């Protein structure tokens, strides 16, 4: 991509910047630098698993909820295993709501994320909110 940026007009560079959700202001040289930087970031993150805890947490919440049909109430931990490049996310779910809320049935799960998909999950604790020690 870097090579063909030199042959583009400023208008064409602005179109590419707009497509990449980058600012479109500045000189032709600034636009080229911005696009090259974006291209470099894209290449360094492609092919790897979720590169941030935020990405992995989002995948864990969405996938666990849709797989077992429970509401994810909170995230209690996130850990990246640098050897496998997998995230282990710990989440608290509400399995059954009660009145008063102290009687809710909650569970603690670990969810393993590789890239943009859940590759495993395990319920490690389950009980009433008022009697379950999740610390």
The answer to pTM > 0.75 is no
Q: Where are the domains of the chain?
A: 2-45, 53-128
User: Distances from the Cα of 67 to the Cαs of 32, 49, 61, 72, in angstroms?
Assistant: 44, 20, 10, 12
| Distance of alpha carbon 71 from alpha carbon 13, whole angstroms | 44
Do 29 and 14 contact (CB within 8 A), yes or no? no
* pLDDT, tens digit only, all 135 positions of the chain: 445 788 889 898 888 888 888 888 888 888 888 888 887 766 555 554 447 899 999 999 999 999 999 889 999 999 999 888 999 999 999 999 999 999 999 999 999 999 889 999 999 999 999 987 765
What three-state secondary structure class fits 65? helix
Distance CA 74, CA 96 (A): 15
pLDDT at 39: 77
């Amino acid at each position: 991509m870097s090579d063909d940026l030199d042959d583009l007009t400023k208008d064409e560079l602005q179109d590419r910047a707009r497509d990449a959700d980058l600012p479109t202001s500045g000189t032709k040289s600034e636009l080229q630098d911005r696009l090259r930087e974006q291209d470099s970031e894209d290449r360094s993150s492609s092919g790897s698993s979720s590169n941030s805890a935020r990405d992995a947490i989002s995948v864990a919440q969405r996938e666990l909820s849709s797989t077992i049909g429970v509401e994810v109430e909170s995230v209690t931990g996130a850990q990246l295993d640098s050897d496998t490049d997998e995230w282990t996310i710990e989440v608290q779910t509400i399995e059954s709501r009660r009145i008063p809320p102290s009687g809710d049935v909650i569970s603690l799960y670990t969810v393993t994320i590789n890239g943009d998909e859940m590759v495993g999950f395990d319920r490690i604790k389950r009980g009433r909110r008022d009697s379950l020690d999740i610390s």
